[in-house]
Amino acid sequence: MNKKGFTFIELLGAIVIMIIMAVIVTVNFSKMQTKRENKRLEEFKNRVQDSACVYIDLSSNEHLKNNNTVCPKTSEGTIDYCTIKFIDLVNDGLVSENLVNPKTGNKAITENITVKITWSGNSVKKCTIQGV
């Protein structure tokens, strides 16, 4: 007698293999999605930080005083850091008012985002985004 078909053990083995493959695909997809979100957030931060550095380079002292930018002077009369609000970057056309914070999904203009710019001893600027 010639029986055709799969045994119960063969079917069970095939189902187990498919479940293992599904778990592997799901885990890898989740990791890939997290990496993509982190990359988008990093690109957002870099865009805003770079714009703030350009803003400082292009702005005169008088322009900085007239905006929300805060650059307190030390007792020696030098500036250690400046804090720039996102709205100033938008108002000067350095970033779009439609720029979306990928972490929250909101327009960045509605959030309290600032960039702090510091200078090291050798006058190298470092721009650090805050509020993201």
* Reported pTM: 0.70
Instruction: Tell me what the mean pLDDT of segment 56-67 comes to.
Output: 66
User: In the structure encoding, which two tokens stand for residue 116, read together?
Assistant: 């702090």
Strand, helix or coil for residue 84: strand
SS3 call for 129:
strand
62-88: pLDDT as tens digits: 555 556 567 777 777 667 788 888 888
Give the three-class secondary structure for 131: coil
Cα–Cα distance for residue pair 84/2, rounded to 1 Å: 82
Please identify which residue in the block is written with the tokens 């050798």: 122
Using one digit for the tens of pLDDT, what is the confidence trace for 81-124? Answer: 888 888 888 888 888 889 888 888 888 888 888 888 887 766 77
**What would the pLDDT profile of 19-51 be if each residue is shown by its tens digit?**
999 999 999 999 999 999 999 999 999 999 888
* Contact between 47 and 98 (Cβ < 8 Å): no
